[in-house]
A and B are shown apart, each in its own frame.
Chain A
Amino acid sequence: MTARSMYCQLLLLPGLVALAASATAHDSGRQYPNSSWEFGAVLDAAHTSKKLELGYRDKNLGLGHSDLMIRGPLGAAFTAEGIFAAHTVDDRLETHTERFVLRSRNLPGGLSLAVGRFASQIGYLNEQHPHADDFSERPLLYRGFLGNHWFDDGLRLNWTAPTPFYLRFGAEAFSGKQLIKEAETKPKIGTSTVSLKTGGDLNQNNSWQLGLSYLNNRRQAEVHTHSEGESAHEHLHGASFSGRRMWMTDLVYKWAPDGNPKNQQIRLIWEQASVARIHPDAAASLRHSATALAAVWRFRPAWELGAKTDWLRVNKPEREEDGDPIEFGAARLREHAMMIAYKPSHMQTYRLQFSRQRADGADAAEVFANPVRNVVMFQVVLGFGAHGAHSY
């Protein structure tokens, strides 16, 4: 985002607070209390022994996804929410507006609308805040294809069906500028998505959710000229690997004795993505793909153990020299992680994580130049004030 639009949005903030104050004053004494305005902050800091290939955390001490949040009702029709986030990149502090959204609350027939800047609802993890993740780094799928956490300026329309099980259809249209930062083609609606979520309970102990999403991307990423061994230190912004189309599938399964997850719970999360038409010059069979599988066991109240495995297979378009034809570097990156976390309340998380990477494939040395053998991360997440509800 440009500095100018950031300041414009920051200037809107006092207006929002004033509106909030007037709306709250208007509500007092009413028979049906509206939700009140909430403020919150999250600090996410980690110490990392080495920076991962495609990693979003700096070596040594770094600030992860930390944010300031304001949220509340605008009359009966809307919920407004703003999230202003900061994290360190190469030891410099970066700030951005992550969310600045109006969500409808009183459309009929199970419809809901969102306008502004918000995270796309494709996949499972994308809509969640990275500081609520079960692992200190997101799966390679997100780091490779979605810039870790893809939020953008756009519009969303959802419909929740009146079915006995959960069924939701959704469509989104975005500028796409946050996904593909430097594009050769720049249509007004750069990316759009359609998605379906469904799920239910098998019985009191077992529940599941399945998601299918499709992303149409009309912003064709610029192809860079090859430069030796830089990838681990590259400034990661937006998708590192992209294409015209992406399909995603996500499946979540959770188990808790008596449906009481506070004491014990197992969560299994599988996500898969496939990117096609990766470049006009690429053969149709050339794709990027990624899979992530995570298992987390809450074995005592407040204590969690987790294991995650993911891999990413790409064909990176690159020019050897300016003016050369584009070549596609085939490589695969695999990553495994183990973690143990202590979460004594909603407001505190302490996590120790071990990760390990391996790159292979014909052009691995060029595409993933710095896979790391062993990485130890220690992460602390602290919440202040209001914290939002968690999604499934």
Chain B
Amino acid sequence: MRIVIKSVFAALAIGGAGAAQAFSVFVCEPEWGALVKALHPAAQIFSATTYLQDPHHIEARPSLIARLRGADLAVCTGASLEVGWLPMLQERSGNAKVQDGQPGMFYTAQFVKLIGQYEGVITPFSGDVHSEGNPHFHTDPRRLLQVAAALRDRLIQLNPGQASSITAQHAQFSKALSDRISGWEAKAARLKGKPVLTQHATFGYLWEWLGIKSVGDLEPKPGMPPTLGHLERLRAQMSQSAAQAIIIAQHHDRRPAEWLTRQPEGRALPLIVLSATVSEMSPTGIFDWLDGLVMTLQQQIRH
């Protein structure tokens, strides 16, 4: 038995040392994967989640532990978004590089100003609230620019040999994104001040950026799935709030929003299902996704 175990250990050690050593990046959400791809195309990137998943509620699956075990850098949002699963992955991975306090653990929320800090006393009945603020800031391209600059520095620090390439890639990405921002703002100008019903604070920063007004949340408390009683209250307020659309994310259960659109008050409202993040981790993934968000809102919210 002992000999068997020893030879397994030896075989694994040799296998591990012999493998090709691409710079391996573990991202918690695919938007950070797309950003890494844009700044350092040679990196090998794995995302723990997809646009179909709610990043608050992810199982600390064995496959994710194995992926984090081999990572040189982990890029996550922070601000408690992944508090239910990332610490478990870090602990179980046994990977010293990606522990908190190490340069290999990069929390993007550290580099931007968050909105929506919860200021009351947090009780068991407050829902899943974050005292740090709303962590879904990646829907604001201006904040993405800030993260990109900080991520460039960290990538260079960990890959000093690639400094010039990463700097050039970043300059290109940053310019391309800056150029697009005014275009998106122009396209969405008519949406300014439009009242909409939303679910969760998923797109809170998008509303802030484009001036769209969320006049009601399908969730009774942050993170708490919609209840019939709460939906009933929203329905009753609909004529008063004058909401122009119901907007949810792709990973949300659609039934509550669909229920509202079946009520007499909500029948005329479009139900808009937006992707909360990029569907592909390509260098242009972020542009394509934000393009899609602005276009969909522009087309589906009434004039």
Contacts and interface: CB of A to CB of B under 8 A. Distances in A.
A263 B123 contact: no
A199 B65 CA distance: 10
Contacts of A169: 5
A325 interface: no
B268 interface: no
Interface stretch (B29-37, B47-55, B186-194): B47-55
Given A160-B65, A163-B12, A392-B60, A107 B84 contact: no
A224 interface: no
A33 B110 contact: yes
A198 interface: yes
A112 B91 contact: yes
Given A110-B69, A200-B63, A207-B63, A32 B96 contact: no
B225 A302 contact: yes
B61 to A, nearest CB: 5
Contacts of A106: 96, 99, 102
B59 interface: yes
Interface in B77-119: 83-89, 91-96, 99-103, 105, 107, 110
B100 A165 contact: no
Nearest to A105: B99
Contact of A382 (B60, B95, B124, B224): B124
A162 B16 contact: yes
A392 B62 contact: yes
A259 interface: yes
Contact of B225 (A110, A168, A197, A344): A344
Contacts of B92: 160, 168, 391
Interface string A145-179: 00000000000001111111111110000000000
B96 A345 contact: no
A103 B53 contact: no
B154 to A, nearest CB: 9
B122 interface: yes
Contact of A259 (B52, B86, B122, B125): B52
A160 B87 contact: no
B59 A345 contact: no
B262 interface: no
B128 interface: yes
A347 B125 CA distance: 7
Interface residues of B, number: 57
Contacts of A386: 83
A107 B225 contact: no
Interface string A348-384: 1000000000000000000000000000000000111
A244 to B, nearest CB: 17
B180 to A, nearest CB: 29
Contacts of A110: 69, 93-95
B42 interface: no
B143 interface: no
Contacts of A391: 60, 88, 92
Interface string A185-206: 0000000000001111100100
Nearest to B61: A207
Interface in B120-136: 122-128
B251 interface: yes
A317 interface: no
Contacts of A262: 53-54, 56-57, 251
A73 B93 contact: no
A201 B59 CA distance: 12
A201 B63 CA distance: 6
A14 interface: no
A306 B234 CA distance: 32
Contact of B124 (A260, A261, A383): A383
B52 A160 contact: no
B64 to A, nearest CB: 8
B56 A204 contact: no
B253 interface: yes
Nearest to B107: A33
A163 B85 contact: no
Nearest to A42: B124
Nearest to B98: A105
B231 to A, nearest CB: 13
Contacts of B5: 169
Contact of B93 (A160, A260, A347, A348): A160
Given A160-B93, A199-B61, A382-B124, A345 B16 contact: no
A346 interface: yes
A389 to B, nearest CB: 4
A162 B124 contact: no
Given A76-B102, A160-B92, A392 B253 contact: no
Given A259-B50, A344-B225, A34 B101 contact: yes
A344 B224 contact: yes
Contacts of A387: 83-84
B27 to A, nearest CB: 15
A107 to B, nearest CB: 6
A300 B252 CA distance: 11
B57 A197 contact: no
A161 B62 contact: no
A248 B16 CA distance: 29
Contacts of A107: 94, 96
A254 interface: yes
B56 to A, nearest CB: 7
10 contacts: A32-B103, A105-B96, A162-B12, A199-B62, A207-B61, A260-B53, A263-B252, A386-B83, A391-B88, A392-B60
Interface of A: 27, 30-35, 73, 76, 79, 103, 105-112, 158-169, 197-201, 204, 207-209, 254, 256, 258-263, 300-302, 344-348, 382-392
- What 9 A-B pairs have minimum CB-CB distances, sorted nearest first? A199-B62, A166-B62, A34-B101, A301-B225, A162-B16, A258-B52, A389-B88, A262-B57, A110-B94
